[in-house]
Amino acid sequence: MKLKKTALAQGFIRCHDCGCLSKQSNNNKLCPLCGGQLHPRLPNSFQRTAALLLSAFCLYIPANIFPIMTVTRLGVGEPHTIIGGIIALINGGMVPIALLVLVASILVPLLKLLGISLLLLNIHYRWQSHTRKWTIMYRIIAFVGRWSMLDIFMISILVSLVDMGGVAQVIAGPAATAFAAVVVLTMFAAKNFDPRLIWDNQH
Amino acid sequence: MVATAINIHLRNMNKIDFTACPECDLLLNLAAPEVGDKAHCPRCGYLMQRPRKQSIERTFALSLAGLILMFPANLMPLVGIKMLGNTKDGTLWSGVVALFEEHLWGVAILVFLSSILFPLLNIILSLLISAHLYFKKPNRHLAHWMRWLQHMDEWAMLEVYMLGIIVACVKLASTSELKFGFGLYAFVALLIVTGMLASSLDKVLFWRQIGQLRK
């Protein structure tokens, strides 16, 4: 009887924007309170999330292979990848900051990509157990996504501050664009994922 | 406090006294938690509502404060460095310009949106909505503003930017002399104000008030 309890099963649609419930019928496509489009579930949630996730996976490779920035000191250039930057921090004795960058720019994007993939598999194969835990995982993924922008902001600050011609200069590399795209794409993927689909599959 | 699940037949309902969990779509009785209480979905644990004391008044005041702080935080230097006799000041805007000059226009636009434009719009929209609700002035754009505010929420990343400043400073500390500008203090204050603003803005209450103003 669990299925009976969802609002959709009882003929109600919840507005995504204002949360107002309205009766499902053929003629009301707009929310009576805020005028937004009414959908029982996010439209094409699975397909959109999968497409965004796939693009993010592709861009994750150049984001890690190419240098994210090049530090030039007295004319000698030294390209850094994301991992190279972390190793440089550890060598400089700044382990806590290195850990922070490791979490924000390696672990979070990677776990997000894997996490969203697992959520999609969950929906596709209609896994029946630990529904609440999956929902909590979705919540964590949606919350932590923005913190990966840390690296991008740090580069933007370094690039503007360390700009002294031949003496010292920081130049952002091609991986910066790829990494920023990964962050944005995974954020959109999480936003397009509808956690109600996990609950809809339970019998 | 937990919102109670209902399991009755709703065939002939006209007025809807129910709500649904946005993350698991469980049909629930409308809960009216007191200030200081929280209403969670009993099935998935989603935080449905967390009423705040004087939500509208506080949002109004905080967004006004935030709007004022936006100016020094954006216009005055955040951090300056001194390296081998050269000095250089950095503002929010100079980071965007530097990225643009290196032809990373995609990253530059992203940084501009998430550190300047969206935080600003966030505060302006909060101010507009709370001012209209405070003075009980109906406006046909209120629902649009509220919707934009909700969609923009996660793209305003001032707190992440703060962390970026800290990491950048740690990286620079060994090779150059750092100087913290007045803009940084304004930026930290802005961060605190936007954090308080986000927690004082009770979305459920705001939508209910917007709905009442419409009638």
- B177-207 pLDDT, tens digit each: 888 888 999 999 999 999 999 999 999 899 9
Question: Does any CB of chain B come closer than 8 Å to the CB of residue A63?
Answer: no
Domain tally for chain B?
2
Contact list, A199 vs chain B (CB under 8 Å): 24-26, 43-44
- Could you give the number of structural domains in chain A? 2
Q: Does B147 sit within 8 Å of A18, measured CB to CB? A: yes
Inter-chain contact A18–B26, Cβ cutoff 8 Å?
no
Does the pLDDT at position A2 exceed 50? no
- Asked whether residue A81 falls in the same domain as residue A28, the answer is no
Residues A193 and A111 reside in one and the same domain: yes
Say how many C-beta atoms besides its own lie within 10 A of residue A170's C-beta.
Answer: 25
pLDDT at A4 over 70: no
Question: Which structural domain, as residue segments, surrounds residue A103?
Answer: 45-200
A19 and A119 in a single domain? The answer is no
Find the residue in B nearest to A135 (Cα): B44
pLDDT in tens, chain B (215 residues): 444 444 444 433 445 678 888 888 888 888 788 888 888 888 888 888 888 889 999 999 999 999 999 999 999 999 988 877 778 888 899 999 999 988 899 999 999 999 999 999 999 999 999 999 999 988 888 999 999 999 998 899 999 999 999 989 888 887 788 888 889 999 999 999 999 999 999 998 999 888 888 77
Mean pLDDT of chain A: 87
- Amino acid identity of residue A155, one-letter, is I
Residue A81 and residue A140 share a domain = yes
Do B70 and B148 belong to one domain? yes
Spatial distance between the Cα atoms of A100 and B99, rounded to a whole number of angstroms: 23
Pairwise CB contact (< 8 Å): A34 & B207: yes
B67 Cα to chain A: minimum distance (Å): 22
| A93 and A186 inside one domain | yes
Question: What CATH number corresponds to the domain at position B171?
Answer: 1.20.140
Are A156 and B95 within 8 A, CB to CB? yes
Question: Does residue B101 sit in the same domain as residue B159?
Answer: yes
The answer to whether B81 faces chain A, any CB pair under 8 Å, is yes
Total H helices, total E strands in chain B: 8, 7
Q: Which two tokens stand for residue B34?
A: 């007191």
Would the CB atoms of A7 and B24 count as touching at under 8 Å?
no
Give the CA radius of gyration of chain B: 22
**Would you call B82 helix, strand, or coil by DSSP?**
strand
Distances (CA, A) of B148 to A49, B126, B206: 22, 10, 14
Chain A residues within an 8 Å CB radius of B44: 131-132, 135, 195, 199
One domain, residues A5 and A65? no
Q: Are residues A14 and A95 in the same domain?
A: no
Q: Which residues of A touch B167 (CB under 8 A)?
A: 97, 100-101, 150, 154
B189 and B107 within one domain: yes
User: Cα–Cα distance between B108 and A163 in angstroms, integer?
Assistant: 17
Put simply, whether A145 touches B (Cβ < 8 Å) is yes
**Domain identity same for B128 and B176:** yes
Say if residue B145 is in the same domain as residue B44.
Answer: no
Q: In this structure, are A50 and A139 located in the same domain?
A: yes
Whole domain around residue B124: which residue ranges? 55-214
pLDDT at A26: 66
CA B179-B183-B186 angle, to 5 degrees, is: 130
Of A17, A23, A168, the CB nearest to B150: A17
Average pLDDT value for residue range A60-84 = 87
**Same domain? B40 vs B59:** no
Residue A21 phi/psi, 5-degree rounding, is -90, 140
- Do B26 and B60 share a domain, yes or no? no
Question: At CB < 8 A and 24+ separation, what contacts does B169-176 make?
Answer: B169/B79, B170/A89, B170/A94, B170/A97, B171/A89, B171/A94, B171/A97, B171/A154, B171/A158, B172/A158, B172/A161, B172/A162, B172/B81, B174/A92, B175/A168, B175/B83, B176/A162, B176/A168, B176/B81, B176/B82, B176/B83
Count other Cβ atoms within 10 Å, centred on residue B38.
13
Residues B72, B30: one domain?
no
**Percent of residues, chain A, with pLDDT higher than 70:** 96
pLDDT band of residue A27 (cuts 50, 70, 90) is low
User: Which has more pLDDT, A46 or B85?
Assistant: A46
Chain A residues lying within 8 Å of B168, measured CB to CB: 154, 157-158, 161
Work out how many CB contacts closer than 8 A connect A with B: 218
Asked if B60 and B156 sit in the same domain, the reply is yes
Distance CA B11, CA A192 (A): 32
SS3 for B147? Answer: helix
pLDDT at A1 over 50: no
Which of A 64-93 lie inside 8 A of B, CB atoms? 89, 92
Inspect the interface and report whether the beta carbons of A135 and B24 lie closer than 8 Å.
yes
pLDDT score at A28: 67
Residues A93 and A140 both lie in one domain: yes
Q: Is the pLDDT of residue A109 over 70?
A: yes
Same domain, A49 and A128: yes
B18 with B71, same domain: the answer is no
Distance from the Cα of A115 to chain B's closest Cα (Å) equals 17
Does B134 reach chain A within 8 Å, measured CB to CB?
Answer: no
- Could you read off the pLDDT of A125-174 as tens digits, one per residue? 988 888 889 999 999 999 998 898 999 999 999 998 888 777 788 888 88
**Residue A29 and residue A66 in one domain:** no
CB spacing of B20 vs A7 below 8 angstroms:
yes
Tell me, yes or no, whether A64 and A150 share the same domain. yes
Q: Note whether B39 and B100 are same-domain residues.
A: no
Residue whose C-alpha is closest to residue A177's, from A74, A33, A70, A66 = A66
pLDDT of residue A173: 87
With an 8 Å Cβ cutoff, is B192 touching chain A? no
* Mean of pLDDT values over A22-27: 75
Which pLDDT score is estimated for B15?
A: 54
Q: CA A122: distance to chain centroid?
A: 18
pTM of the model: 0.88
Distance of residue A148 Cα from the nearest chain B Cα, in angstroms = 8
